[in-house]
Structure 1
Amino acid sequence: MRILILGGTWFLGRAVAQEALARGWRVSTFNRGVSGTDLPGAEAVRGNREDAGDLARLAAQGPWDAVVDTSSSALAPRSVLAGARALEAAAGRYVYVSTVNAYRGWPSEPLTESSELLDGPADADADYGRQTKEGDGPNLHYGRQKAGAERAVWEAFGKDRVAVLRPGVILGPGEYVGRLPWWLRRAERGGAILAPGEPTKSIQPVDVRDVAIFALDQAMARDGGAYNVTAPIGRETMGGFLEACLDATGRRGHLVWTPDDLLVEHAVAQWTELPLWRTYPGVWNVSSEQAQAAGFVCRPLAETVESTWAWLNQGGIPVQHPRWSEHGIDEQKEAAILAAASGGEISAFNGEVR
């Protein structure tokens, strides 16, 4: 197999490249060379996905059995469309990593692959979707852009040659967003730890290595398809996740479970101040049965936590990204909420009840 990875130097793209090389495949990566480092063994091609000349030069270096696109988050659908058209004759298949945000109903309702997508056209520019419409949920711009990008790839390659992967939250070694690393560092600090909602709340993060494996399996598949790439509903819980963080870091703290309404009352920013916490009913209700039937296997979340902690302690440094600074609650604010939850005074320095 010979594959082309659009991206290929950090987090998911790097995991895809590592897995492909481990399988003995020939790997080409295409990126600007400004984020991450090239993986030994891969052929690095420099260029800009929004430059027609760079795309033509890239296509001339084919053919490839498949393209795996992990790097289009900031691209408008029309740019994805132009790139896919440039590569159509040079590649057999196209694996596009999208997101559950592309669904009209996320995060407000349960989802399957047959759920309606948002209204992003294949030729939309970068501004499409910024204008809110009646009945809009919280997806808006990003979701419409990703839905349009999916349509762009289908338009260029045809649905039989395309696999669309729709993950929710991807965690694991190399994570650049900062969700799991923040929880691990918070567990390491110890004391009373503000734990959001109910410990039995189902969550569905997936390991970056498992997404990479499934992406390459789909690169070899004969048929097209769209797949929700999430952990099975109900298998993982917020309580199990945070207990795993405590286990990995030496159990220096204890969890103080705090009702959703108290967190909302204290204006805790959902999804960021306490990463992975969100009150919308559909956020962790995404069926992945179709992906599982196609061979997707999701390792236990505790294993992902352990691997990420080992990566951090071995000097792992994520690619710098502005989203990292968005995650985590201020110590003073956490202490104030813990105090309100317990009726006592909480030290802002170590989280102990006084």
Structure 2
Amino acid sequence: MKLLMLGGTEFVGRAVTEDALARGWDVTVFHRGRHAPPPGAAAAHGDRTAPGGLDALAEGEWDLVVDTWSGAPAAVRDTARLLRDRAGHYAYVSSCSVYAYPAPAGHDEDWPVVDGSPDAQATDYAADKRGGELAALDAFGDRALLVRAGLVLGPYENVGRLPWWLERSARGGPVAAPGPRDLPIQYVDVRDLARWTLDASAAGRGGAHNVVSPSGHATMGSFLEACAAATGGRAELRWTDPAAIEAAGIEPWTDLPVWTPPGEGHDFMHRGDVSKALAAGLRCRPVEETVADTWAWLRSLDGPPPLRPDRSAKGLDPAREAALLGL
């Protein structure tokens, strides 16, 4: 297989590139040149937002294109149109955020989505991802696979959710653990996302798929206990009622990454239906493996983990955590 990876040097794109190389595929990574692609991949440079930014893709044919773009949908539109007669399949890594909010527990790919346009400039994340989906569909039709990823965790994470919990656990002491302990969470290991995307594309699958673990594959308890174990067991998890967290003005998802309290926000983020992707071969590794491998990656770095400049900082200030716990 010949793969054109749009991106391919960070997090999801890097995982896709590494998986494809491990299969022995011929991989070309198209990127801006800010980071080196994994060894073994050919590189083509360009900026999709700049005039002439796609010139390096003017020639060439590929079996598959994988695109993780989350900015202006017009960039997906221009790239997909350029490649539609020279690529067999187009996998666009979208997001479950495209669903109209609120969505009930068990919502699947048929739930209504937000408005979006393939011609739009950057607006908001959900609308941009929906516009990217429409751009891929417009150019490739049933040769377009829409990979609606949920929360993505694992090595190379550049958003800072799992890395924050690991670093907090490594500091040890009392840790504000947002409850309930048995609250189900839904996420996908970036490597499982990459493997499924390539498998499904090679099989010729098209259309939208929710690509995330089944709700309850892990819980807040198993997730945070895995973080504590991986970092040496010095963290003392103190399970805290959601009402106390709300009363303290602490924000779910950002101050306490991954977590959303029971209710419509939790139903939207952590209780979607994934039966379609499971039937198409999605397999999710244990949370303990995701956590341990991410901690090993963090320890291999010379400095702090890389973070995307377009995402907000994650994590709870130590003084606010101490106040919440009454310390």
TM-score, normalising length from structure 1? 0.87
Determine the C-alpha separation between the residues in 2 that align with 1:186 and 1:322. 21
Structure 1, unpaired ranges of 5+: 128-140, 340-345, 347-354
Q: 1:257 aligns with which of 232, 235, 239?
A: 239
Q: Give the equivalent residue in structure 2 for 1:349.
A: none
- In structure 2, what residue type is equivalent to 1:111? H
Deviation at 1:182, TM superposition (A): 0.8
Q: Could you tell me whether the CA contact under 8 Å between 2:103 and 2:111 is conserved in 1?
A: no
Deviation at 1:90, TM superposition (A): 1.3
Q: Give the equivalent residue in structure 1 for 2:22.
A: 22
SS in structure 2 at match of 1:231:
coil
Q: Give the equivalent residue in structure 2 for 1:293.
A: 279
Q: Could you tell me whether the CA contact under 8 Å between 1:32 and 1:48 is conserved in 2?
A: yes
Q: Deviations over 1:59-93 (max 9, x none)?
A: 31x200010012x112x122211111011111000
Q: Deviations over 1:303-322 (max 9, x none)?
A: 10010111112227643423
Say whether 1:145 aligns with 2:131. Answer: no
Q: Could you tell me whether the CA contact under 8 Å between 1:177 and 1:323 is conserved in 2?
A: no
Q: Give the equivalent residue in structure 2 for 1:191.
A: 173
SS in structure 1 at match of 2:227:
helix
Q: Could you tell me whether the CA contact under 8 Å between 2:64 and 2:88 is conserved in 1?
A: yes
Deviation at 1:38, TM superposition (A): 2.1
Q: Could you tell me whether the CA contact under 8 Å between 1:177 and 1:324 is conserved in 2?
A: yes
**Residues 105-254 of structure 1 mapped to structure 2, 5 A cutoff:** 105=101, 110-127=106-123, 141-158=124-141, 160-254=142-236
Q: Give the equivalent residue in structure 1 for 2:96.
A: 100
Say whether 1:330 aligns with 2:311. Answer: no
Determine the C-alpha separation between the residues in 1 that align with 2:76 and 2:43. 20
Determine the C-alpha separation between the residues in 1 that align with 2:292 and 2:211. 21
Q: Give the equivalent residue in structure 2 for 1:84.
A: 80
Q: 1:309 aligns with which of 273, 284, 295?
A: 295
- In structure 1, what residue type is equivalent to 2:26? R
Deviation at 1:6, TM superposition (A): 0.2
SS in structure 1 at match of 2:290:
helix
For residues 14 and 284 of structure 1, do their structure 2 counterparts lie closer, same or farther at Cα, with a shift above 3 Å needed?
same
Determine the C-alpha separation between the residues in 1 that align with 2:246 and 2:307. 30
- In structure 2, what residue type is equivalent to 1:256? R
Determine the C-alpha separation between the residues in 2 that align with 1:122 and 1:176. 26
Structure label with greater radius of gyration? 1
SS in structure 2 at match of 1:326:
coil
Deviation at 1:253, TM superposition (A): 2.0
Q: Could you tell me whether the CA contact under 8 Å between 1:94 and 1:153 is conserved in 2?
A: yes
Q: Give the equivalent residue in structure 2 for 1:137.
A: none
- In structure 1, what residue type is equivalent to 2:240? T
TM-score, normalising length from structure 2? 0.94
- The Cα RMSD (Å) is 1.6
Q: Deviations over 1:180-214 (max 9, x none)?
A: 11111111111111011201000011111111101
Structure 2, unpaired ranges of 5+: none
For residues 106 and 220 of structure 1, do their structure 2 counterparts lie closer, same or farther at Cα, with a shift above 3 Å needed?
farther
Deviation at 1:108, TM superposition (A): 6.2
SS in structure 1 at match of 2:270:
coil
Q: Give the equivalent residue in structure 2 for 1:73.
A: 70
Deviation at 1:324, TM superposition (A): 6.9
Determine the C-alpha separation between the residues in 1 that align with 2:58 and 2:103. 38
Determine the C-alpha separation between the residues in 2 that align with 1:157 and 1:119. 20
